[in-house]
Amino acid sequence: MFESLQKLQIDPIFALMQQYERDENPQKVNVGIGIYRDIKGKPFVFDCIKKAIGCVRNNNFEYESMGGNQQFLAHTAKLFLGEDFDSEKLSLQQACGGTHACRLFADLYLRNNILGSVKNKPKILLSTPSWGNHFGIFKDFEVVKFSHLDENKAFNFSEYLAQVQAHPNSVLLLHGGRTHNPTGENFTLSQLEILAEKCNENQVFVFVDFAYLGLGKSILEDRKYLQILYKKCVQMAFGVSFSKNASLYKQRLGALFIKTNGVNEKEILESNQQNLIRESLSNLPIYPAEVMNIVFENFYEDWVSELGLVCADIALRRKRLLGPLPARFSYLKNGQGMFGLLGLSQAQVLELREVYSIYMMADSRINFAGVREQDFDYLVHNIKKVL
Ligand SMILES: Cc1ncc(COP(=O)(O)O)c(C=O)c1O
C-alpha cells in the first residue's frame, strides 16, 4: 500500500545530535544544534521562566480560541514593535514556535495567493546559506536562491537589492535582528531602510523570521531591525519564536503577525489563519503562553537582565574561540549571535567528526553557545590540525 513511499532522511541537525549521543569519546564536542547551554554544557532555563512556572494557575485546561492566547499576543506584539504596535492594524496569531509561524505564513500565502496577481507558484527570495528548515517549509514556492555573503565572506547587500529588483511580486525572507543563522552577518539599519524602499517599489512582500530577539545585543536594539521594516514596508509579516530567548524550546511558543490596512483586513486574515489552525492542530498549547504572560507582567526586568548576561556570554565565547584561531577566521569577528560559518570543506568537517568527535553542521556552521569550558583548547587545536 505504501510502495510509492521512500524512507526519508531525518533533519540533519537532529541526525547529528543522535550521532553525537552515541559517540563514546569522552572529549566529544557538540557545536551542531542551536541551543544555548551554560559553560558546563548543562541545559539552561532562565530563572524568570522557572519563577513564572511556579506561578501558573493550573485550574483551567479547557480549549482556547483558534487564534491563541490574546493577552500573550498583545504582549508579544508590543515586545517586538514597541509603540508602533497598533492593535487595529496587526493581524495576530499564536503559533507552535518559530517554525510553525513560518509554516502558517507559507500555508496562508500558498492557499490564498496573497499578492493575487501571481498565476504560477509564488516566488520566495531566499538567501543561502539559511536555516536549513526554510527550504523545507517553503518548498512549494518557487525558491530563488542567492548568496547572503560575497566572495570576501562579507554581507552581500548589493545582491539583496539586485534580487528584489529582478523579482517583483515575490516574497523576500529575512532573518530578524542581528543573528543571521548560520552566518552571523547582518544588515545595518540604514541598509534596511534602503531595502524597504526597493521592496515597496517592486511590490515585494517582506517576511521576517525573528527567532533570536534579545540574543544579538538587547531587546531594544535588536527590534529596531523589525521596526524599520514594519514602518516602511507596505507588505510585511513576521514570525517570532520564544525557543532560544526564553528557553522554551520544546514547549513550542511563537506567533505570526501580519501588517494590514485596517480592522477589516485584519479580521479576514485572522479568520483564515484560525481556519488553518482548526484543520491542523485545532488548538494551540496555551501553557507556555501563560508562562510568558507571567514573565511579561511580573518578571520582565529579570528577563531583560538575564538576556543581557546570556548575550554577553555568547559574545565572550565567540571571542575566546576565535582569538587563537588563524587569521583566515577573522571575518567571523564581525558576526553576532550564536552562529558562525567556519568555511571548512566537507572533508574537513567529516575529519573533525570522525577523528576528533567534534560535531558541527555539514556546512561548518558552529554554535558558539554550545562550546563548554573544556572545549576551547580542544576545538582550536583540532580545527588547526585539519586545515
Ligand atoms: C532562523 C530560525 N528560524 C526559526 C527557528 C525555529 O525555532 P522554533 O524552535 O521556535 O520553531 C530557528 C531555530 O533554530 C531558526 O534558527
Using the atom order of ligand 1, give the atom closest to the CA of residue 175.
Answer: 1
Q: Which pLDDT value is given to residue 118?
A: 53
CATH 3.90.1150.10 corresponds to the domain 12-45+301-386: yes
Query: Is residue 117 scored above 90 in pLDDT?
Result: no
Q: Which pLDDT value is given to residue 10?
A: 84
Read off the pLDDT of each residue in 359-380 and give the average, rounded to a whole number.
96
Confidence of residue 102 (pLDDT cuts 50, 70, 90): very high
Residue bearing cell 568555511 = 343
pLDDT in tens, 184-201: 999 999 999 999 999 999
Instruction: Tell the residue nearest (CA) to atom 2 of ligand 1.
Output: 211
Query: Is residue 116 scored above 60 in pLDDT?
Result: no
Ligand 1 pocket check for 34: Cβ under 6 Å: yes
Note if the bond before 129 is cis, omega within 30 degrees: yes
pLDDT in tens, 260-305: 999 999 999 999 999 999 999 999 999 999 999 999 999 999 999 9
Distance 211 CA to ligand 1 centre (A): 5
Share of the chain above pLDDT 90, in %: 91
Using the atom order of ligand 1, give the atom closest to the CA of residue 101.
Answer: 11
pLDDT in tens, 11-44: 888 889 899 999 999 999 999 989 999 999 999 9
Q: Which of 31, 37, 35, 38 is nearest to 16 (CA)?
A: 31
Would 12-45+301-386 and 59-298 be classified into the same CATH topology? no
Q: Which pLDDT value is given to residue 11?
A: 83
Distance 15 CA to ligand 1 centre (A): 17
Ligand 1 pocket check for 98: Cβ under 6 Å: yes
Q: Which pLDDT value is given to residue 13?
A: 86
Q: Which pLDDT value is given to residue 96?
A: 98
Instruction: Tell the residue nearest (CA) to atom 4 of ligand 1.
Output: 98
- Please give the CATH architecture assigned to the domain spanning 59-298: 3-Layer(aba) Sandwich (3.40)
What are the sequence ranges of the domains in the chain?
A: 12-45+301-386, 59-298
pLDDT in tens, 129-144: 999 999 999 999 999 9
Report the half-sphere exposure of 371 (CA within 13 A, side-chain side): 23
Best mutation site among 36, 76, 99 for ligand 1 pocket (most ligand atoms within 8 Å of CB): 99
Distance 2 CA to ligand 1 centre (A): 32
Q: Which pLDDT value is given to residue 115?
A: 52
pLDDT in tens, 223-241: 999 999 999 999 999 999 9
Q: Which pLDDT value is given to residue 137?
A: 97
